[in-house]
Amino acid sequence: MKLLEDRILKDGKILEGNVLKVDSFLNHQIDVGLLGKMGAEWKRLFVEEGITKILTIEASGIGIACIAAEHFNVPVVFAKKSKSTNIGADLYRASVESYTHGTVYDVVVSKKYISPEDRILIIDDFLANGNALLGLIDICKAGGCVVAGIGVAIEKAYQGGGDKVRALGYRVESLAKIKEMNEKDGVIFE
């Protein structure tokens, strides 16, 4: 999506550890108009899929998912980060290795909010190694629902997570796909 790529080139900052900082429009201050256009693009791509719910992960996925949800006219459920090790009978739980912090944390979704009738669109801001998406996929599997598609804002394709998730048979649509990124050459898209 050219609009998002241009914005990354204009305002994205490359940090150490292969981190792209997009705090001025996506992750801290939010450009709602841009998110609206991203939501419209995912709607166009997944219009045939009969999406009943959008699933994301707190915190940075929530804004993107909510604005996308307006285009699909469906609710958003976000997986909550959980410190408790209780395996609550009313929760689905998955472990996720954090890309930015290097730690492992659990995410939970209440059994009330996903069900086998659901056709889920998973949405997240970044795709790097794929761990966040794999955690959300595990939660959908536990809930018996269909993952009808995955929408990612920015995929760092050279980190392999997208290949891993696509190899499992899921359709992943990334609106900006980074082929390479370094301080010397900047961000290069596929």
131 binds ligand 5GP (CB under 6 A): yes
Q: Contacts with ligand 5GP in 57-96 (CB under 6 A)?
A: 60
C-alpha to C-alpha distance for 121 and 150, rounded to whole angstroms: 6
Cis peptide before 59 (omega within 30 of 0): yes
Alpha helices in the chain (DSSP H): 2-11, 32-46, 60-72, 131-143, 161-167
Tally of CB atoms within 10 A around 190: 11
Site string for ligand 5GP, 111-130 (x = CB under 6 A): -------------xxxxxxx
Lookup: tokens for 14 = 């490359």
Backbone phi and psi for residue 92, each to the nearest 5 degrees, phi listed first = -95, 140
Minimum distance, C-beta of residue 12 to ligand 5GP, in the bound complex (Å): 9
132 binds ligand 5GP (CB under 6 A): yes
20 binds ligand 5GP (CB under 6 A): yes
Segment contacting ligand 5GP by CB under 6 A, of 19-27, 45-53, 65-73, 103-111:
19-27
27 binds ligand 5GP (CB under 6 A): yes
Backbone phi and psi for residue 105, each to the nearest 5 degrees, phi listed first = -135, 160
Q: Contacts with ligand 5GP in 42-61 (CB under 6 A)?
A: 60
Q: Which residues bind ligand 5GP (CB under 6 A)?
A: 19-21, 27, 60, 99-100, 124-132, 161
